[in-house]
A and B are shown apart, each in its own frame.
Chain A
Amino acid sequence: MSLWARFRGGVHPDAHKTTAQCATKPLPRPERVVLPLRQHVGAPCQPLVKKGDEVALGQPVGDTDAPVAAPVHASVSGKVAAVEPRLSPSGRMEQAVVIEAAPEDTPWVGLPAGLGWDLDPELLDPAFIRDRVRQAGLVGMGGAGFPAAVKLSPKPGSEPDVVILNGAECEPSITSDHRLMLEQPERVVLGLRLFMRATGARRGIIGIEANKPDAAARLSQLVAGDPSIAVEVLPVRYPQGAEKMLVWALLRRAVPVGAIPLDMGVVVQNVATAAAAATALAEGRPLTDRIVTVSGRVQSPGNWRVPLGTSFVDLVRSAGGLTGSLARVIAGGPMMGMAQADLDVPVTKTTGSVILLGPEDLDETPAGPCIRCGRCVSACPMGLLPAQLCAAALNSDWAAAERFHVRACMECGSCSYVCPARRPIVQSIRLAKFELGRRARQGRG
Chain B
Amino acid sequence: MSKTESGELLVASSPHLWAGVSTGRIMRDVLIALAPAALGAVCFFGWRAAAVIALSMGTAALTEWGCARLMGKPSTLADGSALVTGLLLALTLPPASPFWLPVLGAAFAIAVVKVAFGGLGHNFVNPALAARAFLLAAFPAAMTTWTSPFDAVTTATPLAVLPNPFAREVLAGDLPSYTDLLLGTVGGSLGETSAVLLLLGAAYLLVKQIIDWRIPAGFLATLALFAWVFGGTGGLFTGDPLYHLLAGGAILGAFFMATDYVTAPITARGRWIFAVGCGLITALIRLYGGYPEGVLFAILLMNVVSPLIDRFLVPAPFGGVKGRA
Contacts and interface: CB of A to CB of B under 8 A. Distances in A.
Interface stretch (A21-29, A65-73, A334-342): A334-342
Given A365-B22, A370-B121, A422-B22, A258 B10 contact: no
Contact of A368 (B12, B120, B315): B120
A334 B16 contact: yes
A381 interface: yes
Contacts of A257: 317-322
Summarize B's interface: helix, strand, loop or mixed: loop
B17 A335 contact: yes
B323 A322 contact: no
Interface in B12-28: 12-23, 25-26
B121 A339 contact: no
Interface stretch (B1-9, B127-135, B180-188, B216-224): B1-9
Given A254-B319, A422-B22, A343 B266 contact: no
Give the interface residue-count category, chain B.
35 or more
Interface in A218-235: none
A80 interface: no
A172 interface: yes
A154 interface: no
A384 B122 CA distance: 21
A342 B2 contact: yes
B267 A426 contact: no
A256 B2 CA distance: 44
A387 interface: yes
A249 to B, nearest CB: 12
Nearest to A91: B11
B23 A368 contact: yes
Contacts of B6: 322, 325-326, 343
Contacts of A255: 319
A384 B317 contact: yes
20 contacts: A8-B318, A254-B318, A256-B320, A257-B318, A258-B323, A325-B7, A326-B6, A342-B2, A343-B6, A343-B9, A365-B22, A368-B76, A369-B121, A371-B23, A372-B121, A374-B266, A375-B21, A383-B317, A385-B266, A387-B266
Interface of B: 1-3, 6-7, 9-23, 25-26, 76, 79, 81, 118-122, 212, 261-262, 264, 266-268, 271, 310, 314-323
Given A384-B315, A413-B15, 11 more contacts: A254-B320, A341-B11, A342-B9, A368-B76, A368-B121, A371-B120, A372-B121, A374-B261, A381-B318, A384-B317, A420-B26
